[in-house]
């Protein structure tokens, strides 16, 4: 079983739609959670961190459910420029951890005009 599981998609949605991505992680020692965005043939870039209380950044809302080991990302009023692959990323934070990130395979989103 993969440490971080994501629906690979692709998700094809019209402009203005709301779309949600889900992610589950298997390592209960995971302490930090992130969503990264990767454009085609580009490097991953941090979109937002995910906090236990849930957090919002403009049109983007991230949620964390530690009991279910589940993370979500909601994009409202989607734009053409949101088209990308969204990577769910977790990081252990226990003593002795190397602090390396564990990536999901990514969910591909295409926003259509």
**Residues at the interface with other proteins (CB under 8 A):** 2, 4, 32, 42-46, 49, 87, 98-106
Kindly state the smallest distance separating residue 15's Cβ from other proteins, in Å: 28
**Comparing C-alpha atoms, which of 2, 32, 24 is closest to residue 101?**
32
Nearer Cβ to other proteins, position 34 or 111?
34
Least CB distance to other proteins at residue 21 (A): 15
The encoded tokens of residue 86 equal 């969204």
CA-based Rg of the chain, rounded to a whole angstrom? 14
In terms of CB distance, is 67 or 98 closer to other proteins? 98
H or E element, residue 67: none
Count, residues in the chain: 113
CB 10 within 8 A of CB 111: no
Q: How far is the CB of 72 from other proteins (least distance, A)?
A: 18
Cβ nearer to other proteins, comparing 49 with 72: 49
């Amino acid at each position: 079983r993969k440490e971080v599981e994501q629906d690979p998609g692709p998700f094809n949605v019209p402009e203005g739609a709301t779309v949600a991505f889900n992610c589950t992680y298997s390592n209960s020692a995971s302490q930090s959670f992130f969503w990264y965005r990767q454009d085609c043939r580009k490097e991953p870039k941090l979109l937002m961190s995910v906090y236990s209380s849930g957090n919002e950044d403009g049109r983007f809302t991230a949620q964390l459910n530690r009991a279910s080991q589940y993370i979500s990302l909601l994009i409202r009023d989607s734009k053409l420029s949101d088209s990308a692959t969204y990577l769910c990323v977790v990081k252990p934070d226990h003593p002795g951890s190397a602090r390396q990130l564990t990536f999901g395979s990514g969910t591909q989103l295409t926003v259509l005009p």
